[in-house]
């Protein structure tokens, strides 16, 4: 937890990165969820090459597996004493012993490839299996029209809460009026919102329909139906207690109008996000906000978000609007 945010780190599916931006070397060090991790490529996997995510430190004598580690026949090899570890983290062999050490195990995180990203499942309890899936929303017809990556010194919940803070779209982003939030459907870790919003363009302000689906705290898919459909895949990964990495990747699906406006619309989405960053980086979580009557969705959002913390936050979700 940080001084500004009374939250432990959330659990769920989080992005390591876009597939085409992953390291070219077979073993690399990464940082996520306040933890040193190792990303390594298993070319011997039964279903073809696969990426694995391990804790960084060898259970033998603590060497960092991502600094000098290698891969041999589907196993990660420690650079210190060449102990080898299978894809599930168990010790496969010790070069100077006649059998492996059954107690020596590196934590291995479940991984999945979805929507152009490598994801890993993170929960503080290694015995907790993934509680939901992130479906594949992109097909071969989708063409990228823009990608953006930010490191923001805040927490995922502050960024996600913006989606129900409709008033800020006028005061921060300069839109002409505040649009209603629309229909919200909560299904456990899945949250869906259908709404109509205003957007700025070179030809003025226009309305567009949104279908937003959040798959826990780390992944989301937004369909913008403007004059054509543009799809945004968002990935938010906690790096430290008060820093997240956010990736936006936008696509059109072959519609001529969406293809024409896609790049410009992607730039507008990025502009609005960039305008929010100074506020996120200097605000604090307000546990009992004095809300306006129209801001009830803030309370509902915080109740939904609370399920992704393994221990309750030290503050209540929100006060009732007055």
Q: At 20, is the pLDDT very low, low, confident or very high (cuts 50, 70, 90)?
A: very high
pLDDT at 207 over 80: no
pLDDT at 322 over 60: no
How does pLDDT run across 148-164, given as a tens digit for each residue?
999 999 999 999 998 88
pLDDT for residue 177: 64
Q: 56: Cβ–Cβ under 8 A, 6 or more apart, which residues?
A: 29, 35, 36, 37, 38, 64, 65, 66
pLDDT at 317 over 60: no
Q: What residue ranges of the chain are covered by domains with CATH 3.90.380.10?
A: 143-305
pLDDT at 23 over 50: yes
Long-range contacts from 54-60, C-beta under 8 angstroms, 24+ separation? 54/85, 54/89, 54/106, 54/107, 54/108, 54/109, 55/106, 55/107, 56/29, 57/106, 58/83, 58/106, 59/91, 59/103, 59/104, 59/105, 59/106, 60/101, 60/104
Alpha-carbon gap, residue 40 to 99, rounded angstroms: 24
How does pLDDT run across 238-251, given as a tens digit for each residue?
999 999 999 999 99
pLDDT at 11 over 80: yes
Alpha-carbon gap, residue 166 to 47, rounded angstroms: 45
Range ranked top by mean pLDDT from 1-10, 108-117, 191-200: 108-117
Q: Which two tokens stand for residue 147?
A: 């990608």
CATH of domain 143-305: 3.90.380.10
Q: At 200, is the pLDDT very low, low, confident or very high (cuts 50, 70, 90)?
A: low
pLDDT for residue 197: 73
How does pLDDT run across 289-307, given as a tens digit for each residue?
999 988 899 999 999 999 9
CA distances from 111 to 43, 131, 264 (A): 15, 13, 33
Q: 156: Cβ–Cβ under 8 A, 6 or more apart, which residues?
A: 10, 217, 218, 236, 238, 244
Q: What residue ranges of the chain are covered by domains with CATH 2.102.10.10?
A: 12-122
pLDDT at 320 over 70: no
How does pLDDT run across 255-270, given as a tens digit for each residue?
888 888 899 989 989 9
Q: At 201, is the pLDDT very low, low, confident or very high (cuts 50, 70, 90)?
A: low
CATH of domain 12-122: 2.102.10.10
Alpha-carbon gap, residue 161 to 42, rounded angstroms: 38
Instruction: Find tokens 């937004």 and name the residue.
Output: 222
């Amino acid at each position: 937890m940080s001084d500004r945010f009374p939250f432990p780190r959330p659990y769920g599916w989080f992005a390591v990165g876009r597939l085409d931006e992953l390291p070219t070397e077979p073993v690399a060090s990464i940082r996520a969820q306040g933890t040193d991790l190792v990303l390594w490529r298993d070319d011997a996997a039964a279903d073809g090459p696969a990426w694995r995510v391990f804790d960084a430190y060898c259970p033998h004598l603590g060497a960092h597996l991502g600094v000098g580690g290698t891969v041999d026949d589907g196993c990660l090899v420690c650079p210190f004493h060449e102990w080898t570890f299978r894809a599930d983290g168990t010790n496969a062999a010790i070069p100077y012993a006649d059998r492996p050490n059954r107690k020596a195990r590196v934590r291995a995180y479940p991984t999945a490839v979805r929507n152009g990203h490598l994801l890993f499942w993170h929960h503080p309890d290694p015995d907790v299996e993934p509680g939901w899936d992130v479906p594949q929303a992109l097909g071969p017809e989708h063409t990228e029209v823009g990608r953006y990556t930010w490191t923001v010194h805040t927490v995922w919940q502050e960024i996600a809460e913006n989606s129900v803070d409709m008033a800020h779209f006028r005061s921060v982003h300069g839109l002409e009026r505040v649009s209603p939030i629309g229909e919200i459907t909560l299904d456990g870790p899945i949250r869906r919102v259908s709404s109509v919003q205003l957007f700025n363009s070179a030809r003025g302000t226009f309305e567009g329909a949104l279908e937003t689906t959040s798959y826990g705290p780390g992944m989301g898919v937004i369909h913008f139906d403007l004059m054509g459909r543009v799809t945004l895949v968002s990935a938010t990964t906690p790096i430290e207690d008060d820093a997240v990495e956010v990736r936006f990747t936008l696509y059109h699906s072959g519609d001529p109008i969406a293809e024409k406006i896609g790049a410009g619309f992607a730039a507008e989405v990025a502009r609005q996000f960039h305008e929010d960053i100074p506020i996120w980086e200097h605000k604090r979580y307000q546990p009992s906000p004095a809300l306006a009557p129209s801001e009830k969705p803030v309370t509902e959002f915080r109740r939904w978000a609370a399920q992704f913390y393994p221990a309750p936050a030290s503050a209540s979700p929100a006060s009732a609007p007055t």
